[in-house]
Amino acid sequence: MEPVHIIGAGISGLGAAHYLAARGIPAIIHEAGQGHGGRAAAIRHDGHMFEIGGKNFSTAWPRFTALLRDFGLTEFEPQHPGFHIVMADRLVALEKSKTLTGDLRLASAIGLRGALQLRSFLAEARSKAEALNYTAGLIEEIERDWDHMTIDRHFTKSLVEGPMRLFSIIMGGAEPSELYPSLLMLFASGFGKGQHRAIKGGVGQFHDALAAGKTIRHGSAVRRIHLSGNAVAGLEIADADGVHQVPASRVISAVPLHVLRQMVDLPAYARVAAASVRYFPLAMVNAVYDAPVFRDGVHSIMFEPGSILGHCSANRLHQPHHARFTLSGKAARDVLDRPDDWLVGAAERAFSARMPIAANRTSLHVARHTGGICGYAPYFTRVKRDLLRGVAGIGGLEIAGDYLEGHTMEGCLTSAALAVERMLHTETAARLAA
């Protein structure tokens, strides 16, 4: 049987190969880098497992948790119970388990109007949590009601610079003035879904299990998806042997949307849709110290506007000596191209202004996500329809990725499963028609 060629060995690409294998269909994954896991990868370095992207999951994620069971991954650790946000030059707690009515410190920091706005926003997100996703129709209702303005124009200044910026930085690596509320509503709805955990020993175990038995060609960078008429005919690949053509009639793109745009000629309306989806770059610094740097019940800090640090957390609750610094937001973008040493020093100084580091660094890893994480677009459901319609006009091509069903690991797996279903459905329909 002719294999399906998959571009990218991130969660979406590995997931597509997994769901194809479950149906007895072989796949070849082309990965430009030397690892797998994409922007949620785990790097073994200096005797440590450094998670350089998403590392937590929700017990309410059906696909992810089903795979955990299949892979025999059963030991987990709790995620941080809340955040501390820098507001008015002090750390203010936001506990995930509390309603705003019981969180007087936060209410006093953002004011009565802001407190009421946040309570209303979170209540709507939680009440609709089970139906909020990019597949069900409810998200269009949220987009219609909220996406006529960016986040910062919906709420009070104190709320925008505090909890709403927390959501926008974590979810999109961007400022509230750059994102739209529907994306935040999806993120906030996750606060009411299941329990948030991390895999004991690191998320890399999940990636390794998902990659096991798959054919992955590392260092194989796909430059173009060649078409003949309106169907896939082959791939142009750059690897250790140079640039060459590989015949292919079935391809699943599992790379970020801005990468796909450079690989294939989509119809004009789909190109416009693709151009509207934004990605925001960031850097992730994992640093291990010889003594705790988090203390006094603080495990995770969201920094103020203007700081090059968007967020910093302890790698695990029991690892206050292992910090994950995330440089994101507008101020960070001005410095992301500076050398690693400069980024690390600047991150430590910004952190020390809030919680002085009285320890020596013993290990370090810097990851730059220059392609960014997906910030979506306003009224995204319409955008998605145009993207899928454009791809449907190209025989043998399907798409999966962070820009379709949410850029959580669950969203990436869902996009992979749906891509496989669409491809097989189209092939079955073509056979029946013949």
Give phi and psi for 16, each to the nearest 5: -60, -45
Q: At what angle do helices 62-71 and 409-433 cross, to 10 degrees?
A: 90
Using CA atoms, how far apart are residues 13 and 7, in angstroms rounded to an integer?
7
Q: Which residue has the tokens 């079935």?
A: 250
Q: Give the model's pLDDT for residue 192.
A: 61
Each residue's pLDDT expressed in tens, for the chain with a length of 434 residues: 799 999 999 999 999 999 999 999 999 999 999 999 999 999 988 888 899 998 999 898 999 999 999 999 999 998 888 889 999 898 988 876 654 444 566 778 888 899 889 888 888 888 888 888 887 778 999 999 999 999 999 999 999 999 999 999 998 999 999 999 999 888 888 766 778 899 999 999 999 999 999 999 999 999 999 999 999 999 999 999 999 999 999 999 999 999 999 999 999 999 999 999 999 999 999 999 999 999 999 999 999 999 999 999 999 999 999 999 999 999 999 999 999 999 999 999 999 999 999 999 999 999 999 999 999 999 999 999 999 999 999 999 999 999 999 889 999 999 999 999 999 999 898 888 87
Using CA atoms, how far apart are residues 105 and 162, in angstroms rounded to an integer?
12
pTM here? 0.95
Using CA atoms, how far apart are residues 76 and 64, in angstroms rounded to an integer?
13
Give phi and psi for 412, each to the nearest 5: -65, -40
Question: Of the candidates 326, 317, 315, which has an alpha carbon nearest to the alpha carbon of residue 281?
Answer: 326
Cβ(235)–Cβ(222) under 8 Å?
yes
Give the CA-trace dihedral at 92, 97, 99, 101, to 10 degrees.
Answer: -60
Q: At what angle do helices 409-433 and 11-21 cross, to 10 degrees?
A: 40
Taken in order of first residue, the domains within the chain and their CATH numbers are 4-47+201-276+378-433 (3.50.50.60), 78-197+278-375 (3.90.660.10)
Give the CA-trace dihedral at 110, 346, 372, 319, to 10 degrees.
Answer: -80
**DSSP of 57-82:** EETT-HHHHHHHHHHT---EEEPPSE
Using CA atoms, how far apart are residues 210 and 35, in angstroms rounded to an integer?
13
Which H or E element spans position 344? helix 340-352
DSSP state of 50: E
